[in-house]
Structure 1
Amino acid sequence: MIRTPLRPLARILRAREKGENPDAIEAENRAQRHAEIQESARNNARHRLVFMAMSFVLAFGAVGVKMGVLAASQPTEPRVQSGSAQIISQRADITDRYGRVLATNLLTYSLYAHPRQMVDPEGAAKKLVSIFPDLDIDRLRKDFSGKRSFVWIRKKLSPEQMQAVHDIGEPGLLFGPREMRLYPNGHIASHVLGGTTFGKEDVASAEVIGVAGVEKAFDHWLRDPANDGAPLVLSLDMTVQAAMEEVLANGMKVMNAKGATGILMEVKTGEIVAMSSLPDFDPNDRPKPLLKGDPSDSPLFNRAVQGQYELGSTFKIFPVAQALDLKLISPNTMINSKTPMKIGKYLINDFHNYGSQLSVTDIIVKSSNVGTVRIAQLLGPERQRDFLEKLGLFEATPLEMSEAPTGKPLVPQRWPAVTAATVSFGHGIAASPLHLAAAYATIANDGKRVRPTLVHGRAARGGEQVLSPQAAKTAMALMRQVVTRGTARSANVEGYEVAGKTGTADKPRPNGGYYRDKNVTTFASAFPASAPQYVLVLTLDEPSVTSAGGAELRTAGWTAAPVAAEVIRRVTPLLGLRPITEKELPMVERPLPDRLKLVSN
């Protein structure tokens, strides 16, 4: 900006020539300059006011838009962030099919120490050991008196323990909040649930991660914030599960068995209503795994899924059902049952001598090894192997548990005539009780393949037709006769049309051969036989019961079958099944024969 001089020389000279006062020129220029300054100030003030007005409009407009967005959105509960943003401590609940809680979270506290802040380290160590007897006082003394600035003492505290530590009054003992996994039903369904441990952790938060069972199989889903806390709904029914576990535990004691397992499955959906393995454990205090010895000696071992057993005569229905489907036989076809039967250098015998001929029906009813082998020979090794593969007996079950892949059946690589013979009556091939339950469910489901699941309401995949419906119904009718007049008469529960097959298999020795006094007994069943709804498989490991005459009884008809009958009596009312009889009788109170009576706790 070029400023005009107050006394311009040219005008001053002209004013003097004309006799005018030069000071008037200066006053005029000064007034003009002041006017320009005032105009510039007014313009600046005007611009500032416009800018401030626009700023207020934009600010209040943004606030108004945000308020509008909040008013139009759905209300949500604010989430509390842990001290470490990288640790996700939330974990969804697990419930049974009716919403009863099987696993949930509990707010608790951890205990740690800052030794440099401790007033009386020696006294604190002694008092902590009195509260937690499993702590090592020498180790605590060393940690508290050394150079360490931080010491973990306890990852989880009960309210009583926390109060006792608080009463010590030691400023160097500190508490950190965290969530722990709680299983309110203790041992019930422990193998299904599995358990959890702590992953990433700090003093204010801890990551809970699954280590076994569905907790591990669904670990990512249970920890995913996108699920908004929705629970994992299992197919289990907690009341049925508890009832089966109680009967199974009592039966295991009465039969002097090393272990036991039971599986109750819906025929149409494959949903597992109850699944138990004994001995079990409390997932709130999960034991440590065995580092040596037989894995089945550990309570962590899930016999239902991980157990690989030769399941004996329960397999006999498979070649018979296949031969019925191929119309190679009928229930009344007479089969050569003369014993012993020789295949190569091997002899195959029956438990009893049943004569030179048996009908197909009596082969199943009396459980003839020789008769079953004759039927398997009609099929041929290739067709027999293909059928068992279609039943899922060559692959791991698709069950939603971390242990499921470890239970893949042990199948012979070669399938010569002698293998085909032994497999037909359940030897030479080892599968889990869950595999057997799925295969029996396939027969009970009019021959359509059934795949087990632990998730309630999951749409079942349409199974392939493994057997014709007619052959499946005939197989069910044969197994019904096993219960009414055959080896499983002790499993006949009046009013529920139990159909099933017993199986007794000697346990193999680690170095080859079989034990003569150790076996696995199984009863596989479906009920009601006329319209199957449920499959029950019950297995006892090394059972032995003494008869009234002092004889030692170890076969499935004397051990597994009566225990299965008691399970059916207990759970059918809980399942809402009414007995198919005109005369109403109290099913739960009907006792077993005195020699095998189960005493409920």
Structure 2
Amino acid sequence: MTRTPLRPLARILKAREKGENPDAIEAENRRKRHEEMADKQRQRAEGRLLVLGLAFFLAFGAIGMRMGTLASSVPEEPRASAVGNPIIGQRSDIVDRNGRILATNLATHSLYAHPQDMINPVHAATELVKIFPELDADELLTDFTGSRKFLWIRRQISPEQMQAVHDIGSPGLLFGPREMRLYPNGPIAAHILGGASYGREGVASAEVIGVAGVERQFDAYLRDPANEGAPLELSIDLTVQAAAEQVLAGGMTIMNAKGATSILMDAHTGEIISMVSLPDFDPNNRPRVLLEGDQSDSPLFNRAVQGVYELGSTFKIFAVAQAMELGLINPNTMIDTQGPLTWGRFRIRDFHDYGPELSATDVIVESSNIGTARIAMQIGAERQRDFLGALGFFQPTPVEMIEAPTGKPLLPPNWSEISAMTISYGHGLSASPLHLAAAYATIANGGTQVTPTLLRTPNPAPGPRVMSEAVARRSVQMLRQVVSRGTASFGDVQGYLVGGKTGTADKPRENGGGYYDDKVIATFASVFPANDPEYVLIVTLDEPEIHTLGEDRRTAGWTAVPVAAEMIRRVAPLLGLRPQMDSAQSVGVTLTSN
């Protein structure tokens, strides 16, 4: 900027020549300079005011827009923030094969206290005990009047209880949001689902974790936000499961059994359609684990998976099937059944005297221990061990349950010839009913191994072949004859061809000192329909006994078989199986003239 001098020399000289005062020139130039400076300062101030006004305008505009957004949004409670990983409360549903809810979530509240905020602790403690009778008034009062600053009262409460606590009117009683696990069907499928509880807890949320069953097995999946709430789809059918539980509970009562279990499995896919263990429990109110005594007495004990039993004569079909696979016998081969069969100090006897010999088919139909043991002698211990291993009897079942690894079969320490003979008719090797179901499914589906699963599996990969289709078909025909004319005659169901094998095994004493004389494990392993098997059903009763025809009866033919027959009668229509007539019966229509 060019600065004008206050006393320019040229004007000063001219002013002196004319006799004018030079100071007037300086005064005029100073006035003009001050006016220019004032104009610049005024322009600068006006610019600043304009910028400040624009800033205020934008600020008030932003505040107005935010207020409008809040006014038009849905109100919600503020969420407390915490340092560290957030607690994930959401848990996916569990559904059956048809999408029906087995386990879901319910929004509820927890109740906690800030004793320092209470006005009348005595009144609060007294009223809380009226709402929650399990609480102790003296303990509550001690906590409310002590040094504690925070106290959990109930992890979850109902809406009615929440309103009742509200009515107490104490500012020290507070509520926190909660999500609880709900099982709307009560005890149905309790052992499969297992149950859930709370893990990490905060005032504003709590972590729901699985404690048993598929809830524990798939805990990571059910809690994973990446699944976006997709449900876990199980293979069981809720309707079939409910019917099976009802029938088995009735049969357990009628047969005076200590416990019972049943498994219904798709013979081709290994999908478990229903699995029942009794006594059971309600996962909404899961009981405590037994700290002493026999765990099998607890309702939490899953007999289908964790129960390891000698399954008796249900094993006989494996020996006959393997012998046919090896070409040692055929269904009509005559087997020596002259008894007793002596091996060292051991003697093997039959329940009845069946004469000097029976066909291989009749060994199964009549359930001859001697005949089966002689077939096992032809097979040999090593080949028998390999065959049973291929059927899955050496390892715990791979079913998707946290309890599955505990159901490991009990094998003989030395698989000798006498071991092979006794194992052939179900003594000396203990396995779970689920092991037996998978092995019978191998026979029923034409000879390929199946893997038991609780997940919906529409297109499973075929397992390795254990026996030929011809041998599997002949084995099923033998099982059919056990029902039509053998030890399982009570298992015949009109309209549905049932094949199966009974098994009655003496129950071992708890201290390992031999077997009980009056306690048995009764099992019926069945397949249906026998002309084209689709399903396998296992029914096992623990210590059954029924008084009929003037005497006490414990064998499977009198106890487990009638229960299984009633179960098939109930569930077969639910599975979509149409009734049909046995091909052995002559059925037809005769045209007559008037």
* Pair in the same fold by TM > 0.5: yes
State the match for 1:414 in structure 2. 414
Deviation at 1:10, TM superposition (A): 6.5
State the match for 1:170 in structure 2. 170
Deviation at 1:443, TM superposition (A): 1.0
State the match for 1:539 in structure 2. 540
Residues 202, 5 of structure 1: alpha-carbon distance in 2 compared, 3 angstrom cutoff: same
1:486 partner letter: G
- Superposed counterparts of 1:284-303, under 5 Å: 284-303=284-303
Residue deviations 1:314-369 (CA, integer Å, cap 9, x gap): 11111211111121110011112121212233222211222221111011111111
Secondary structure at the counterpart of residue 461 of structure 1: coil
State the match for 1:153 in structure 2. 153
Residues 149, 78 of structure 1: alpha-carbon distance in 2 compared, 3 angstrom cutoff: closer
State the match for 1:129 in structure 2. 129
Residues 1:117 and 2:117 are matched in the alignment: yes
- Superposed counterparts of 1:196-595, under 5 Å: 196-457=196-457, 459-509=459-509, 510-549=511-550, 551-581=551-581
For residues 239 and 99 of structure 1, the distance between their equivalents in structure 2, rounded to whole angstroms, comes to 12
State the match for 2:144 in structure 1. 144
State the match for 1:93 in structure 2. 93
Identity, % of aligned positions: 60
Aligned pairs, number: 561
For residues 555 and 305 of structure 2, the distance between their equivalents in structure 1, rounded to whole angstroms, comes to 23
For residues 227 and 191 of structure 1, the distance between their equivalents in structure 2, rounded to whole angstroms, comes to 25
Structure 2 residue runs without a partner (length 5+): 58-73, 584-594
State the match for 1:594 in structure 2. none
For residues 417 and 90 of structure 1, the distance between their equivalents in structure 2, rounded to whole angstroms, comes to 57
Greater Cα offset, 348-357 or 383-392: 348-357
For the aligned residue pairs, the C-alpha RMSD in angstroms reads 3.2
Deviation at 1:415, TM superposition (A): 1.3
- Name the TM-score, length of structure 2 as normaliser: 0.87
For residues 15 and 365 of structure 1, the distance between their equivalents in structure 2, rounded to whole angstroms, comes to 150
Secondary structure at the counterpart of residue 274 of structure 2: strand
Residues 120, 376 of structure 1: alpha-carbon distance in 2 compared, 3 angstrom cutoff: same
Deviation at 1:83, TM superposition (A): 3.9
Residues 417, 45 of structure 1: alpha-carbon distance in 2 compared, 3 angstrom cutoff: farther
1:283 partner letter: P
For residues 446 and 323 of structure 2, the distance between their equivalents in structure 1, rounded to whole angstroms, comes to 16
- Name the TM-score, length of structure 1 as normaliser: 0.86
State the match for 1:597 in structure 2. none
Secondary structure at the counterpart of residue 415 of structure 1: coil
Deviation at 1:169, TM superposition (A): 2.7
For residues 80 and 267 of structure 1, the distance between their equivalents in structure 2, rounded to whole angstroms, comes to 53
For residues 360 and 144 of structure 1, the distance between their equivalents in structure 2, rounded to whole angstroms, comes to 79
Residue deviations 1:482-531 (CA, integer Å, cap 9, x gap): 11111111111122110111111111122331111111010011101111
For residues 452 and 244 of structure 2, the distance between their equivalents in structure 1, rounded to whole angstroms, comes to 18
For residues 81 and 406 of structure 1, the distance between their equivalents in structure 2, rounded to whole angstroms, comes to 46
For residues 84 and 358 of structure 1, the distance between their equivalents in structure 2, rounded to whole angstroms, comes to 79
Secondary structure at the counterpart of residue 122 of structure 2: helix
Q: Is the 8 A contact 1:84 1:205 kept in 2?
A: no
Deviation at 1:164, TM superposition (A): 2.6
1:140 partner letter: L
For residues 396 and 50 of structure 2, the distance between their equivalents in structure 1, rounded to whole angstroms, comes to 78
Secondary structure at the counterpart of residue 350 of structure 1: coil
Q: Is the 8 A contact 1:12 1:25 kept in 2?
A: no
2:366 partner letter: K
For residues 79 and 222 of structure 1, the distance between their equivalents in structure 2, rounded to whole angstroms, comes to 26
Deviation at 1:461, TM superposition (A): 2.6
Q: Is the 8 A contact 2:495 2:582 kept in 1?
A: no
Secondary structure at the counterpart of residue 154 of structure 2: strand
Residues 177, 415 of structure 1: alpha-carbon distance in 2 compared, 3 angstrom cutoff: same
Residues 492, 141 of structure 1: alpha-carbon distance in 2 compared, 3 angstrom cutoff: same
For residues 445 and 44 of structure 1, the distance between their equivalents in structure 2, rounded to whole angstroms, comes to 96
Q: Is the 8 A contact 1:447 1:469 kept in 2?
A: yes
Residues 321, 286 of structure 1: alpha-carbon distance in 2 compared, 3 angstrom cutoff: same
Secondary structure at the counterpart of residue 532 of structure 1: coil
1:299 partner letter: P
1:130 partner letter: K
State the match for 2:5 in structure 1. 6
Residues 575, 9 of structure 1: alpha-carbon distance in 2 compared, 3 angstrom cutoff: same
For residues 514 and 243 of structure 2, the distance between their equivalents in structure 1, rounded to whole angstroms, comes to 38
Residue deviations 1:429-488 (CA, integer Å, cap 9, x gap): 111111111111111111111111111245423211111111111111111111111111
Residues 36, 389 of structure 1: alpha-carbon distance in 2 compared, 3 angstrom cutoff: farther
Q: Is the 8 A contact 1:187 1:282 kept in 2?
A: yes
Secondary structure at the counterpart of residue 430 of structure 2: coil
For residues 518 and 185 of structure 1, the distance between their equivalents in structure 2, rounded to whole angstroms, comes to 34
For residues 78 and 575 of structure 2, the distance between their equivalents in structure 1, rounded to whole angstroms, comes to 43
For residues 505 and 547 of structure 2, the distance between their equivalents in structure 1, rounded to whole angstroms, comes to 19
1:295 partner letter: Q
Residues 464, 26 of structure 1: alpha-carbon distance in 2 compared, 3 angstrom cutoff: farther
Residues 546, 6 of structure 1: alpha-carbon distance in 2 compared, 3 angstrom cutoff: same
Deviation at 1:30, TM superposition (A): 9.4
Q: Is the 8 A contact 1:519 1:554 kept in 2?
A: yes
Greater Cα offset, 229-238 or 252-261: 229-238
Deviation at 1:26, TM superposition (A): 9.8
Secondary structure at the counterpart of residue 90 of structure 1: coil
State the match for 1:180 in structure 2. 180
Greater Cα offset, 507-516 or 280-289: 507-516
Residues 178, 313 of structure 1: alpha-carbon distance in 2 compared, 3 angstrom cutoff: same
Greater Cα offset, 241-250 or 371-380: 371-380
Deviation at 1:283, TM superposition (A): 0.7
For residues 483 and 171 of structure 1, the distance between their equivalents in structure 2, rounded to whole angstroms, comes to 71
For residues 504 and 82 of structure 1, the distance between their equivalents in structure 2, rounded to whole angstroms, comes to 62
Greater Cα offset, 243-252 or 393-402: 393-402
For residues 41 and 383 of structure 1, the distance between their equivalents in structure 2, rounded to whole angstroms, comes to 111
Secondary structure at the counterpart of residue 239 of structure 1: helix
For residues 232 and 531 of structure 1, the distance between their equivalents in structure 2, rounded to whole angstroms, comes to 31
Deviation at 1:31, TM superposition (A): 7.8
Deviation at 1:103, TM superposition (A): 1.1
For residues 249 and 267 of structure 1, the distance between their equivalents in structure 2, rounded to whole angstroms, comes to 25
Q: Is the 8 A contact 1:82 1:205 kept in 2?
A: no
Q: Is the 8 A contact 1:106 1:180 kept in 2?
A: yes
For residues 148 and 138 of structure 1, the distance between their equivalents in structure 2, rounded to whole angstroms, comes to 15
For residues 573 and 211 of structure 1, the distance between their equivalents in structure 2, rounded to whole angstroms, comes to 35
Deviation at 1:180, TM superposition (A): 0.9
Residues 29, 304 of structure 1: alpha-carbon distance in 2 compared, 3 angstrom cutoff: same
Q: Is the 8 A contact 1:6 1:29 kept in 2?
A: no
Deviation at 1:165, TM superposition (A): 2.5
1:4 partner letter: R
For residues 186 and 556 of structure 1, the distance between their equivalents in structure 2, rounded to whole angstroms, comes to 30
1:345 partner letter: R
2:3 partner letter: T
For residues 331 and 207 of structure 2, the distance between their equivalents in structure 1, rounded to whole angstroms, comes to 60
Residues 577, 79 of structure 1: alpha-carbon distance in 2 compared, 3 angstrom cutoff: farther
1:546 partner letter: H
2:515 partner letter: Y
Q: Is the 8 A contact 2:7 2:25 kept in 1?
A: no
2:349 partner letter: N
For residues 429 and 489 of structure 1, the distance between their equivalents in structure 2, rounded to whole angstroms, comes to 27
For residues 381 and 84 of structure 1, the distance between their equivalents in structure 2, rounded to whole angstroms, comes to 67
